[in-house]
Amino acid sequence: MDVNEASADIIGGAHAKVKHDSAVRHVTGRAVFIDDIPSLPGVLEAVFVISPYAYAKIVSIDISKAKAIDGVHEVLMAEDIPGQNDIAPVFKNEPVLASEVAEYAGHPVALVVAEKYDIAFHAAKEVIVQYKVLQPILSVEEALKKKEYTYPPQIIERGDPIGAINLAAQKISGEIACGGQDHFYLEGQIALAQPGEETDMIVYCSTQHPTEAQHGVSKVLGIPINEVTIEVRRMGGAFGGKESQSTIIAAAAALAAAKTKRPVKIRLRRDDDMVITGKRHDFEFKYVVGIDDDGRIEGIDLDMAMRSGNVADLSPGVLARALCHGDNCYYLPNVRLNGYPCKTNTVSNTAFRGFGAPQGMLAIEVVIEHIARELDKSVDEIRAINYYGTSERNVTPYGQVVKDNIIVELTDRLASEIDYEERKADIEKFNADHLTLKKGIALMPVKFGISFNAPHLNQAGALVHVYTDGSVHLNHGGTEMGQGLFIKVAQVVASVFQIDINNIKISATRTDKVPNTSATAASAGSDLNGMAAFNASEIIKGRMTGIAAKHFDVLDSEVEFRQNRIYAGNESISFAELAQMTWAERVSLSATGYYKTPDIYWDPKKLKGNPFYYFTYGACVSEVIIDTLTGESRVLRADMLQDCGKSLNPTVDYGQIEGAFVQGMGWLTSEELVWDDQGRLLTHGPSTYKIPGSRDVPPEFNIHILEDAPNRFPTIFRSKAVGEPPLMLAISVWLAIRDAVARIGEGRLMPNLNAPATPEAILMAINDTRQRARK
């Protein structure tokens, strides 16, 4: 079958609008999450003992009192680890349990294993740890000043930025910051480890990265990788939070299971989950930009300082992506992007939907806004003259040529469909007529690179079996976190065999079925695993074709798989009959498939290359209203147009766009992480940390998938990745709030408003703008 096109005369083939395979199970409670697996005999539960200090030397740990408690089986410390106390995903020396120093308030220092959760929970308080408190670094600013990094700063540079800025007609500089974000997945971090024969270990773990969990368990237990199996059927949300952080839970559960020879479950309660595990990186930006009289950027020097936290974790990838999206849709001829991974005594930050790109894009959007305000022009005009070209001005700061640029067409189409110019005029009028309430509006264009920055991660495997009754078993290295990957890959297999989707059994991800996998991340899950499953299915189909040709006595090329049957001229047999026949002929009905993304390369030292196979585009216009007396804001309307290529499943993609936008809105408006002056997280539950609710969804919420836009690069059936890009469309909400605040100062003053734009922050920005406007 041609990978460029899928025919559509079966139920649930590629491009069909089929619902998520678990939709009914999700809403009826029949979907099995790890905590729903029937309790194993003798299962124990474990709870972490965590450091109350942001930075402290661990002087001694006295476990005797805790261990004496009825029902407590073990209290484990770093010294009990038989292998290496290291689960670093990129570098080294990132411990499961702190040994000599605790580096953030919440750092696990011991693990109490007991008959029941409540016993472990209370016994954890009886573990007496003596600390010598040290002076922590709690802010990005301080880490920058002291040059404390988790790894060396990273720079992308092209041309002569400083020279260009100095020669430019105008020079503008400024600062902006954005906050972090907790993943707030519905299902918290969880792992259930079950010891097997000798040192074998199987761990059911809510993870986006079973292979890395497998490596973590193998390292910590000091056993070969082939003795460890990780299984995950589905996650109750992950959003990047279970890419590396889940390894801590898997490794700790496996350690406890190995020690007690009993199954052990670790399920973090919400407060512990929020305190112990990493989040989206908050960033501080500084920029100097040189422009010509029209506002075209000639040179830019942009600092991006991220809160890496106590260790590097995935910060290298996140920072690389932030730097690679510091251009968003704009051509920056002379450019220096300086990335600083600041080491602080706060939890190590990690992957979160967008993986640094939202932060990088937010910064350049503020630069664009600043140019507009300085020149008293519209932001959209400044955007337009700085957009990447198609045949010139089309090379990114990291050296990749943008070959599939559709941003101008896409934003024009959106603007004309929603009468953007008229609505801007209406808002002017509204604001002239209203003193207390002010409206704002903004467009956000998005260009997002698809592929992991590190080329070696862009590979995937699949395992497909056809059984003699014609039913198909599907397995691949991707994981399901609610994003609909499993149904999309099943649709691909259905299309190859031309059989209805209900014939395909979706199965749990397991490291012993498909080995050496990448994390399901970077939105590349369906691109990679879809193609691997396609390749596996094609192999089996090729063999079955040979059997059919022999049966019908025709050439292979005369055999056609169509509507659940196999045809040769006027004759046909069912798919099941052919499966049975193939088996009887002693031909294998099982195959593995493999795929690697072509044409990508990356020089991690120079930060140059062609890291992305293609780009995906989107645009959104948001209209907001703010109350200048209270600082409250409301999104009145959002219209978005998202490029999904030739969507594998518009129903699933629609949900992804909707969810990503609302999650992005939360990041930028209501979700605020607050630490006290000792570095303790104060917002560790829903009472103090406000994720968006159903009533925060804009009353007018129009989502459109760009029609007739197959991927220009050959991906699985010309689809495009969709998981992360629409999150960045929500930056339009934040920009619109800034626009509303700026109306107080007649639009020329840059509002002093960082993200998140909480009511407090908006109110302060309003008062600040008012005061400056009077001067």
User: Which residues are tagged catalytic?
Assistant: 724
Other beta carbons within 10 angstroms of residue 501's beta carbon come to 20
Of 519 and 733, which has the nearer Cβ to ligand MTE? 519
Q: Where are the alpha helices (DSSP H) in 376-439?
A: 379-386, 407-417, 420-433
Residue whose Cβ sits closest to ligand MOS: 240
Residues 164-203 that bind ligand MTE (CB under 6 A): none
* 609 phi and psi angles, rounded to 5 deg: 150, -155
278 contacts ligand MOS (rule: CB under 6 A): no
246 contacts ligand MTE (rule: CB under 6 A): no
Q: Are 257 and 194 in contact (CB under 8 A)?
A: yes
Q: Are 712 and 403 in contact (CB under 8 A)?
A: yes
Which residue of 85, 154, 208, 458 would you call a contact of ligand MOS, by CB under 6 A? 208
Please count the residues of this chain forming the interface with ligand MOS, following the rule CB under 6 A. Answer: 10
477 contacts ligand MTE (rule: CB under 6 A): no
Following DSSP, what letter does each residue of 57-91 receive, concatenated?
A: EEEEEE-HHHHTSTTEEEEEEGGG-SS-S---SSS
Q: Where are the alpha helices (DSSP H) in 147-187?
A: 161-167
Tokens of 685: 């539950």
355 contacts ligand MOS (rule: CB under 6 A): yes
Q: What is the Cα 357 distance to its own chain's centre?
A: 10
Minimum Å gap between C-beta 509 and ligand MTE is 12
Of 355 and 387, which has the nearer Cβ to ligand MOS? 355
Residues 704-733 that bind ligand MOS (CB under 6 A): 724
Backbone conformation region of residue 23, classed left if phi is above 0, alpha if psi is from -120 to 50, else beta = alpha
Which of these, 159, 182, 204, lies nearest to 40 by C-alpha position?
Answer: 204
Residue whose Cβ sits closest to ligand MTE: 525
Of 108 and 356, which has the nearer Cβ to ligand MTE? 356
352 contacts ligand MOS (rule: CB under 6 A): yes
Helix (H) or strand (E) holding 601: strand 601-603
Of 242 and 424, which has the nearer Cβ to ligand MOS? 242
618 contacts ligand MTE (rule: CB under 6 A): no
521 contacts ligand MOS (rule: CB under 6 A): yes
Of 481 and 755, which has the nearer Cβ to ligand MTE? 481
* 504 phi and psi angles, rounded to 5 deg: -105, 120
Which partner, ligand MOS, ligand MTE, none, binds residue 526 by CB below 5 to 8 Å per kind? Answer: ligand MTE
- Using DSSP's 3-state secondary structure scheme, residue 390 falls into coil
Which partner, ligand MOS, ligand MTE, none, binds residue 524 by CB below 5 to 8 Å per kind? Answer: ligand MTE
Other beta carbons within 10 angstroms of residue 636's beta carbon come to 16
185 contacts ligand MOS (rule: CB under 6 A): no
Of 209 and 373, which has the nearer Cβ to ligand MTE? 209
Q: What is the Cα 200 distance to its own chain's centre?
A: 32
317 contacts ligand MOS (rule: CB under 6 A): no
Which residue of 21, 126, 243, 313 would you call a contact of ligand MOS, by CB under 6 A? 243
351 contacts ligand MOS (rule: CB under 6 A): yes
Minimum Å gap between C-beta 521 and ligand MOS is 3
Which residue of 15, 262, 267, 353 would you call a contact of ligand MOS, by CB under 6 A? 353
Residues 709-728 that bind ligand MTE (CB under 6 A): 721, 723-724
Which partner, ligand MOS, ligand MTE, none, binds residue 334 by CB below 5 to 8 Å per kind? Answer: none
Of 355 and 612, which has the nearer Cβ to ligand MOS? 355
Binding map of ligand MOS across residues 490-509, x = CB under 6 A, - = no contact: --------------------
* Degrees, nearest 5: CA angle 170-175-181: 145
Of 314 and 372, which has the nearer Cβ to ligand MOS? 314
Q: Are 220 and 85 in contact (CB under 8 A)?
A: yes
527 vs 460: CA distance, rounded Å: 9
Minimum Å gap between C-beta 444 and ligand MTE is 19
Q: Are 737 and 601 in contact (CB under 8 A)?
A: no
Which of these, 491, 458, 485, lies nearest to 472 by C-alpha position?
Answer: 491
Residues 483-542 that bind ligand MTE (CB under 6 A): 483, 485, 520-526
- Using DSSP's 3-state secondary structure scheme, residue 94 falls into coil
240 contacts ligand MTE (rule: CB under 6 A): yes
Minimum Å gap between C-beta 480 and ligand MTE is 8
Of 656 and 754, which has the nearer Cβ to ligand MTE? 656
Of 521 and 540, which has the nearer Cβ to ligand MTE? 521
319 contacts ligand MOS (rule: CB under 6 A): no
Which of these, 619, 652, 633, 737, lies nearest to 692 by C-alpha position?
Answer: 633
Minimum Å gap between C-beta 250 and ligand MOS is 17
45 vs 72: CA distance, rounded Å: 10
Residues 60-89 that bind ligand MOS (CB under 6 A): none
Of 479 and 564, which has the nearer Cβ to ligand MOS? 479
Q: How many residues comprise the chain?
A: 775
Residues 642-681 that bind ligand MTE (CB under 6 A): 656, 659
Beta bridge partners of 206: none
633 vs 572: CA distance, rounded Å: 63
Which of these, 775, 743, 747, lies nearest to 373 by C-alpha position?
Answer: 747
**Which of these ranges, 57-65, 340-348, 350-358, 706-714, lies near ligand MOS under the rule CB under 6 A?**
350-358
Backbone conformation region of residue 586, classed left if phi is above 0, alpha if psi is from -120 to 50, else beta = left
Which partner, ligand MOS, ligand MTE, none, binds residue 285 by CB below 5 to 8 Å per kind? Answer: none
Minimum Å gap between C-beta 156 and ligand MTE is 23
**Which of these ranges, 347-355, 414-422, 495-503, 741-749, lies near ligand MOS under the rule CB under 6 A?**
347-355
Residue type present at position 770: R
CA distances for 481 relative to 30, 213, 249, 280, 752, angstroms: 16, 16, 17, 18, 37
Q: Judge if the upstream peptide bond of residue 224 is cis by omega within 30 degrees of 0.
A: no
Minimum Å gap between C-beta 190 and ligand MTE is 14
Q: What is the Cα 519 distance to its own chain's centre?
A: 10
* 86 phi and psi angles, rounded to 5 deg: -155, 120
Q: Are 477 and 461 in contact (CB under 8 A)?
A: yes
Minimum Å gap between C-beta 235 and ligand MTE is 7
Backbone conformation region of residue 150, classed left if phi is above 0, alpha if psi is from -120 to 50, else beta = alpha
353 contacts ligand MTE (rule: CB under 6 A): yes
Which stretches of the chain bind ligand MTE, using CB under 6 A? 237-240, 353, 481-483, 485, 520-526, 656, 659, 721, 723-724
